């Protein structure tokens, strides 16, 4: 897979091929509403550009909806990595996606197992993204891939802090917004109690 240019925040990207999960989640800029994969054509271009789909593949509007569902379910998982609760519906959607895009286990000549998508086309492309999630869990990097706690942002970032305590994609932007909101809330409470 080709390296992704994903970061608007100056943080380093997720390691290895986990960057593709980060990239998929970041195709939607929640703050501006800009969607890099909002059409079947733009989804195909994104998948081809990142080596997940052959250029001759055809995608339908159903394929687009499936990819968008996967993206948003992954965003909820990344929010869970940042302390939020995963809605039950997101877990169900991911389980359904896994059942629709099965993965195959194969063994190399040295006996090492590896996963590969069992399908082709969109099934293979989305299967490859799901494989990165499974691999990241096994490698211990999954919990560091998070979605920003700022509700107007939810940008996927890789938390490289020593104690895994990063909450925002950017302390100077999203962290400041959150702290200002908390300050205003405290001030409002003080005014109410002093009246």
Q: Is residue 3 part of a domain?
A: no
pLDDT band at residue 128, thresholds of 50, 70 and 90? very high
Q: Is residue 111 part of a domain?
A: yes
Q: Can you give the pLDDT at residue 188?
A: 59
Q: At what angle do helices 61-80 and 122-139 cross, to 10 degrees?
A: 10
Mean pLDDT value across residues 158-175: 78
- Contact in structure between 36 and 68 (CB atoms under 8 Å): no
- Per the structure, the count of domains in the chain is 1
The CATH number covering residue 118 comes to 1.10.3300
Q: Is residue 45 part of a domain?
A: yes
Q: Is residue 85 part of a domain?
A: yes
pLDDT tens digits for 21-61? 999 999 999 999 999 999 999 999 999 999 999 999 999 99
Q: Is residue 11 part of a domain?
A: no
pTM for the full predicted model? 0.83
pLDDT tens digits for 89-114? 878 888 888 888 888 999 999 999 99
For the chain, how big is the Rg over CA atoms in Å?
Answer: 19
Mean pLDDT value across residues 171-195: 59
What percent of the chain is predicted at pLDDT more than 70?
82
Residue by residue, DSSP assigns 59-103 as --HHHHHHHHHHHHHHHHHHHHTTTPPPPHHHHHHHHHHHHHS-E
Within the chain, strands assigned E span 28-29, 34-35, 103-107, 113-117, 145-147, 156-158
**Matching residue, tokens 């005014």:** 191
Q: Is residue 9 part of a domain?
A: no
Q: Is residue 4 part of a domain?
A: no
Q: Structural domain of residue 48, as residue ranges?
A: 16-194
Q: Is residue 2 part of a domain?
A: no
Q: Can you give the pLDDT at residue 39?
A: 98
Q: Can you give the pLDDT at residue 82?
A: 94
- Contact in structure between 14 and 22 (CB atoms under 8 Å): yes
């Amino acid at each position: 897979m080709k390296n992704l240019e994903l970061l608007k925040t100056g943080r380093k990207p997720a390691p290895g091929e986990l960057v593709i999960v980060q990239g998929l989640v970041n195709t939607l800029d929640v703050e501006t509403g800009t969607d890099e994969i909002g059409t079947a054509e733009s989804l195909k271009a994104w998948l081809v550009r990142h080596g997940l789909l052959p250029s001759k593949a055809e995608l339908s509007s159903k394929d687009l909806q499936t990819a968008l569902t996967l993206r948003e379910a992954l965003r909820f998982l990344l929010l869970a990595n940042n302390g939020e609760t995963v809605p039950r519906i997101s877990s169900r959607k991911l389980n359904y996606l896994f059942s629709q895009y099965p993965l195959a286990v194969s063994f190399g000549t040295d006996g090492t197992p590896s996963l590969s998508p069992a399908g082709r086309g969109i099934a293979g492309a989305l299967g490859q993204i799901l494989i990165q999630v499974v691999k990241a869990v096994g490698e211990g990097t999954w919990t560091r891939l998070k979605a920003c706690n700022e509700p107007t942002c939810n940008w996927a970032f890789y938390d490289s802090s020593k104690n895994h305590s990063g909450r925002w994609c950017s302390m100077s932007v999203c962290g400041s917004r959150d702290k200002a909101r908390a300050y205003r809330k405290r001030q409002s409470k003080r005014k109410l109690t002093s009246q």
